[in-house]
């Protein structure tokens, strides 16, 4: 088969309520031609209405809105729905032109009016004090939408300078609520990073995820000031996948790596700040029982988990010992993305009782169990949690299609329900 000349096929014009990935090239079946063709097909639209509405509301009421999210999760694409990349109000701090414009930041930002977008703000922490001054002007000419990938450092820097002036929105990768219930298997297998999910072939998605991890460790983290060698972080992250869904014990990976436990704790916090790992903290109740006080750890994106485990396709995933833990982590991320909550934790005792996820809404406490089973049943652990914690309701999420009760407070709920935000506990979102 001869190679046709590669041609960019741009998607249709972006509407105000859709996120689009434009300028994606056709995939060519002749492998020799793929150096000039993309791994991705026609540009497609993925509705992120709820996220866009949150941003609209935030920028309307707050002088500064901070939008955080993992690298390559679509922050820039969303920001360009509000301000064109060609606008003088748009600054991308990975662009040398934008960096040159901000050599004298007060001079560059002071006369701007309307919404100003500053992308990759973590590269210029010195801008935060200037944003404070500009947001405090009596005649407020501009509001600011700032984007960043390093959650921990970014929030610490912004909290110090912009206290009382900013609103924070944390976005993630694609979710069931955005893609629909039919996308569940692919979303679990490939993860929610847009270009991993959009790839034509499994091997292309797997290769993109491998490149993403390499770029994060070798380029992005050093740019953020991390001095740990990339190979050491990759080794730690790979080891962490085998603790996915387990209680975290810093001493075990430290012994395997030949370092102090304090070093592995720093590694874990670093990946948490980069929004790659979730540390799910324990819930502590006033009970006469020994309760677990260490966090559980999860690789937040199931696709990255599978890449680090070397699972290139669905067959490999379904036969792997971490199958159940992978599904549990995937369900937890979908619940956290779709269900309103003030706090999220897990609960467990040293006697073996455990609830995978607790959601606090005001004074209400709701439980979630993740069961990859055909027909989950009421377990002793569930009964203990209902009695000891005073749960209002407990939802048992499973892969099946039927919703049915196990007791007055416990209901088995299909995974597909999470495609409808706020419906997990049988109630509409507030």
In the block, residue with structure tokens 């996308």: 183
> Which domains, and CATH codes, for the chain?
1-47 (no CATH), 50-170 (3.40.50.300), 198-419 (no CATH)
CB atoms within 10 A of CB 410: 22
Number of helical (H) and strand (E) elements in the chain, helices listed first: 18, 16
Beta strands in 334-392 (DSSP E): 343-348, 354-361, 364-370
Say if CB 418 and CB 174 are below 8 A apart. no
Give the pLDDT score at 159: 66
Query: Tens digits of per-residue pLDDT, 46-63?
Result: 878 889 999 999 999 999
In the block, residue with structure tokens 């020994």: 290
Q: Which tokens go with 412?
A: 């088995």
- H-state helical runs in 62-135: 75-79, 96-101, 105-109, 127-135
Q: Which tokens go with 357?
A: 């996820």
Q: Per-10-residue mean pLDDT for the chain, 430 residues long?
A: 36 37 35 38 68 95 92 92 95 94 94 95 87 87 89 67 85 94 96 94 95 95 88 96 96 93 95 95 91 96 98 95 97 96 95 95 96 95 94 97 96 96 74
Region of 294 on the Ramachandran plot (φ > 0 left; ψ -120 to 50 alpha; else beta)? beta
Half-sphere exposure of 427 (CA within 13 A, CB side): 9
Give the pLDDT score at 223: 82
**Quick one: CA dihedral 182, 185, 186, 188, positive or negative?**
positive
Q: Which tokens go with 18?
A: 């859709």
Paired with 359 in beta bridges are 344, 366
Identify the DSSP state of 51.
H
Q: How far apart are CA 45 and CA 72, in angstroms?
A: 16
Pairing of strands 364-370, 45-47: unpaired
Say if CB 44 and CB 9 are below 8 A apart. no
CB atoms within 10 A of CB 43: 18
In the block, residue with structure tokens 């000039």: 36
Say if CB 20 and CB 54 are below 8 A apart. no
Q: Which tokens go with 379?
A: 């377990």
Say if CB 153 and CB 87 are below 8 A apart. no
Say if CB 170 and CB 65 are below 8 A apart. no
In the block, residue with structure tokens 């939802």: 395
């Amino acid at each position: 088969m001869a190679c046709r000349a590669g041609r960019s096929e741009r998607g249709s014009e972006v509407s105000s309520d859709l996120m689009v990935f434009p300028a994606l090239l056709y995939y060519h079946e002749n492998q020799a031609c793929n150096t000039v063709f993309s791994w991705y097909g026609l540009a497609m639209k993925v509705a992120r209405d709820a996220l866009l509405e949150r941003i609209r509301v935030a920028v309307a009421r707050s002088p500064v809105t901070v939008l955080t999210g993992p690298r390559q999760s679509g922050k820039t694409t969303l920001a360009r729905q509000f301000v064109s990349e060609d606008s003088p109000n748009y600054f991308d701090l990975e662009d040398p032109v934008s960096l040159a414009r901000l050599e004298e930041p007060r001079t560059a930002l002071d006369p701007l009016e309307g919404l100003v977008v500053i992308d990759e703000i973590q590269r210029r922490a010195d801008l935060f004090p200037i944003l404070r001054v500009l947001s405090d002007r009596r005649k407020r000419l501009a509001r600011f939408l700032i984007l960043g990938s390093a959650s921990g450092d970014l929030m610490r820097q912004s909290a110090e300078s912009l206290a009382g002036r900013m609103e924070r929105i944390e976005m993630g990768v694609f979710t069931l609520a955005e893609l629909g219930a039919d996308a569940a298997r692919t979303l679990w297998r490939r993860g929610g990073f847009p270009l991993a999910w959009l790839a034509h072939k499994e091997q292309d998605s797997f290769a993109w995820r491998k490149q993403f991890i390499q770029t994060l460790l070798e380029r992005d983290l050093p740019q953020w000031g991390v001095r740990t060698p990339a190979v050491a972080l990759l080794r730690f992250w790979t080891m962490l996948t085998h603790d996915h869904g387990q209680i975290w014990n810093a001493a075990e990976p430290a012994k395997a790596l030949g370092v102090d436990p304090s070093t592995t704790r720093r590694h874990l916090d670093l990946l948490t700040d980069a929004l790659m790992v979730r540390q799910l903290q324990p819930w502590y109740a006033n009970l006469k029982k020994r309760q677990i006080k260490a966090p559980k750890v999860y690789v937040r994106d199931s696709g990255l988990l599978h890449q680090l485990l070397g699972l290139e396709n669905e067959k490999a995933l379904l036969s792997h010992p971490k199958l159940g833990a992978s599904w549990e982590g995937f369900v937890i991320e979908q619940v956290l993305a779709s269900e309103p909550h003030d706090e999220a934790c897990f609960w467990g005792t040293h006697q073996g009782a455990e609830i995978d996820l607790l959601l606090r809404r005001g004074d209400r406490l709701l439980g979630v169990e993740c069961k990859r089973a055909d027909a989950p049943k009421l377990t002793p652990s569930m009964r203990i949690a209902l009695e000891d914690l005073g749960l209002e309701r407990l939802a048992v999420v499973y892969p099946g299609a039927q919703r049915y009760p196990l007791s007055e407070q416990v209901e088995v709920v299909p995974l597909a329900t999470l495609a409808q935000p706020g419906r997990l506990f049988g109630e509409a979102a507030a």
